[in-house]
Amino acid sequence: MVIDDSSAMRLILGRIMRSLGFDVVEAPNGAEAIARLQSGAMPEIALVDWNMPVMDGLAFVNAVRREEKWRQITLMMVTTESEQSQIVRALAAGAHEYVIKPFTPDAIADKLALLGVLAY
Amino acid sequence: MTITAGAFTFVSDLLQQHAAIVLSPGKEYLVESRLMPLARQIGLDDVGALVARLQSRPDDALRRQIVEAMTTNETSFFRDRDPFNAFSQAILPDLCKERSATHRLNVWSAACSSGQEPYSIAMSIVDHPLMTPDWQVEVLATDLNEEMLERARQARYSQLEVNRGLPVAMLVRHFERAETDWRVVPAVRGIVRFKQLNLAEAFDIPQMDVIFLRNVLIYFRPSTKVEVLKRVRRILRPDGYLFLGGAETTLGLDDAFERVMVGSTTAYRHKGARPMQMPSRLSAAVAGAGLSALPRPGSTLGPTPGSAVRGVASASHPPPPVGWPFQASTNNSISSQGRR
Ligand SMILES: C[S@@+](CC[C@H](N)C(=O)[O-])C[C@H]1O[C@@H](n2cnc3c(N)ncnc32)[C@H](O)[C@@H]1O
C-alpha cells in the first residue's frame, strides 16, 4: 500500500513496488488508507508519507498499531521529515523502517530486504 | 573521444604496478570517465593530456591521484547483509567465549573504501550484548586509496548513503545530524582505526580474529589473489574467520583455507580450525532488526549466546517491535514503552 498525498510520488513508489513484484493499492491520506484496511485490504507492507491532509502518516501508524489484526503489516515511512527526533517518534509509534526523501529506487529495495519483505 | 592505445597501456601498467589492479582491454571508456574529472580539475583538456603530463616527468602525487581515481569504491552499510548477520549472531558469540580470558578482539576491514564496512562492523560490536565495556576491541580499516580513507575518517555520510543498507534504528542510535549529512557518533568511531595499506605489497599488521576482505580480490589477477590470500592467512588467528565478497573464493587459490557455512553465508577458516559453536539457526532479518530480540547492551548480564540467537531466530518475520530502537538508549521511559 502506498500512502502519499502527492499523486506523482504515488506513481513513483507504485512503479518501484510493482517492479519488485508487489501488487499496489494507493491512498492519498491516512484516513483513506484506514478505510481500505477496514474494507479488507491486508497489505504486507505500507509505505507511508508523513505530511498529508486529513490524517497524517504518524496518526496512521498509531491507528494501525492499535489494532491487533493489523499487527502483521510492515510499516515504512517515506518522507522528507529528516530530523532525528521525528524519526525516533515514528519508530516509537511503531514504524519499522524509514526512508528519507529524496531516495533512489535501490534504497527502497534495500530497505525492503532489510525488513525481510523482499528476498535479497 | 577515446584515449590512444598507448595511453591506455600506460594507465593499465600503472594500475598493475601500484595497485595490482587488472584493467582488461576494452575498458578504455572506464579510463576516460574516471580520469576526465581529474584532468579538468588540474586544468587539462582531456585524459590524453593528463597521461602525457605524467609520462613527461615523474610526479608521485599525480601518479597516486590517477591510481586512486581508477579504483572502484562502490560500497554500502551492511553490504549483502548476511555476512554481518553471521558476524553478530554467530561469530561474535563464538569468539566472546573463546577470548574470555583476554577480552580482546581484533577485526580487520581490508579494503574499507569510504568506511561503511568498518563502521557497520563497529556498530555491530557496540550493539552486541556480550561486548561489555571491559573488552578491548579494535577494528582496523585499511585501503589503498588515501582520498577514500580521508572520507572514511570524516565518518560523514549523505542522506542517500544512509538510506542504503543501514537499518534506521542504527541510524538513530549511532549517527548524529551534521547539517544535511549524518555523522557516526564518537562511541562507534572510537573503535575504528584507519591506515593506508596496499594489499599487493608485504604488510605488517597485528593478528586478526575476523577479516573482511570483500569485493577487492575481484580486481586482481589470479597470481596476485594467491599472494594476497597467503599473506592474509598469516594474519588470521588459528580459529579466526575470513569473509570474502559474494563473487570471490579461496577455492583453487589457497587450499589451506576451508569454506564453512555460517547461516546462509560463506566464511573461510584455516583448515582444521577448532569447530565453531554454531547457533542452530540465524535470523534472516538484518542485524538491527535482529537486535530487537536481544537485551539492552547496557545490561550487565548478557544472555548465553545460544539463547540470544534462538531468541532472534524465533522472530524471523517479526511484528513491529514497538520502541525497540531505544534499547540502546539510556532513556528508560521511552524504552519501556515496548510491547513486551
Ligand atoms: C569495491 S570497494 C569494496 C569496499 C568494501 N570492502 C565492500 O565490500 O563494500 C574496493 C576497494 O578496494 C580498494 N583497493 C583496490 N586495490 C587495492 C589494493 N591493492 N590494496 C588495498 N586496497 C585496494 C579500492 O581503493 C576500493 O576502496
The DSSP call for residue B139 is E
Record: contact B288-A110, CB cut-off 8 A = no
Does B206 fall in a domain? yes
Query: B110 CB less than 6 Å from ligand 1?
Result: no
Compute the nearest-CA separation of A51 from chain B (Å): 19
Domains and CATH numbers, chain A: 2-115 (3.40.50.2300)
Percent of chain B with pLDDT over 90: 74
Whether B270 contacts B208, CB under 8 Å: no
pLDDT at B36: 95
Closest of B112, B46, B39, B32 to residue B79, by C-alpha: B112
Partners of B319 on chain A (C-beta within 8 Å) are 71-72
Q: Would you call B141 helix, strand, or coil by DSSP? A: strand
Cβ within 8 Å of residue B53, ≥6 positions away: B44, B59, B62
Pairwise CA distance, residues B283 & B140, whole Å: 27
Please give the average per-residue pLDDT across B113-140, as a whole number: 96
Q: B143 CB under 6 A from ligand 1? A: yes
Same domain, B171 and B53: no
Residue B322 belongs to some domain of the structure: no
Instruction: Decide if B317 is inside a domain.
Output: no
pLDDT cut 70: percent of chain B above it:
81
Strand order in the sheet with B181-184: B156-157, B181-184, B175-178
Does B308 reside within a domain?
A: no
Question: pLDDT tens for residues B245-303?
Answer: 999 999 999 999 999 999 889 999 999 999 888 776 776 655 444 334 332 333 222 23
pLDDT score of A116: 82
Min CA distance, A7 vs chain B (Å)? Answer: 23
Secondary structure element (H or E) that encloses residue B147, with its range = helix B146-154
> B50 and B149: one domain?
no
- Give the CATH number of the domain where residue B22 resides: 1.10.155.10
3-state SS assignment for residue B129? coil
The CB of B248 under 6 Å from ligand 1? The reply is no
Burial class (CB in 10 A: 0-12, 13-18, 19+), A45: buried
Alpha-carbon span B251 to B257, nearest angstrom: 8
The per-residue pLDDT for range B173-204, each reduced to its tens digit, is 999 999 889 999 999 999 999 999 999 999 99
Taking every pair of C-alpha atoms in chain B, what is the biggest distance, in angstroms?
Answer: 70
Contacts of B15 by beta carbon, 8 Å cutoff, 6+ apart: B21, B22, B23, B67, B70
Sheet holding B104-109, edge to edge: B192-196, B136-143, B104-109, B208-213, B236-244, B265-270, B257-262
Q: Does residue B21 line the site of ligand 1, with CB under 6 A?
A: yes
Q: Which atom of ligand 1 is nearest to the CA of B213?
A: 6
Atom 7 in ligand 1: residue holding the nearest Cα:
B75
pLDDT computed for residue A15 by the predictor: 96
Question: What mean pLDDT is reported for chain B?
Answer: 84
Q: What is the pLDDT of residues A5-36, one digit of tens each?
A: 999 999 999 999 999 999 999 999 999 999 99
Q: What is the DSSP string of B205-265?
A: ---EEEEEE-S-GGGB-HHHHHHHHHHHHHHEEEEEEEEE-TT---TTT-TTEEEEEETTE
Q: Does residue B216 fall inside a structural domain?
A: yes
Residue B307 domain-assigned (yes or no): no
What's the CA gap between B284 and B203, in Å, rounded?
36
Whole-number pLDDT of residue B284 = 61
Task: Please give the radius of gyration of chain B, using alpha carbons only, rounded to the nearest integer.
Answer: 22
- Kindly report, residue by residue over A28-68, the tens digit of the pLDDT: 999 999 999 999 999 999 999 999 999 999 999 999 999 99
- How many structural domains comprise chain B? 2
Select from B270, B287, B306 the last residue of a domain. Answer: B270
With CA atoms as reference, the chain B residue closest to A78 would be B163
Asked if residue B94 and residue B36 are part of one domain, the reply reads: no
Q: Rounded CA gap, B234 and A37, in Å?
A: 59
Do residues B269 and B240 lie in contact, with contact meaning Cβ atoms separated by under 8 Å? yes
* Same domain for B26 and B95: no
How far is ligand 1, taken at its centre, from the CA of residue B185, in Å?
24
Q: Which three cell numbers stand for residue A60?
A: 496512521
Cα of B80 to ligand 1 centre, how many Å? 16
Q: Is residue B321 situated within a structural domain?
A: no
Residue B334: list chain A partners with CB under 8 A. 92
| Domain span including residue B48 | 5-71
Check pLDDT > 50 for residue B113: yes
Q: Is residue B59 part of a domain?
A: yes
**C-alpha span between B20 and B70 (Å, rounded):** 12
CATH of the domain at B257: 3.40.50.150
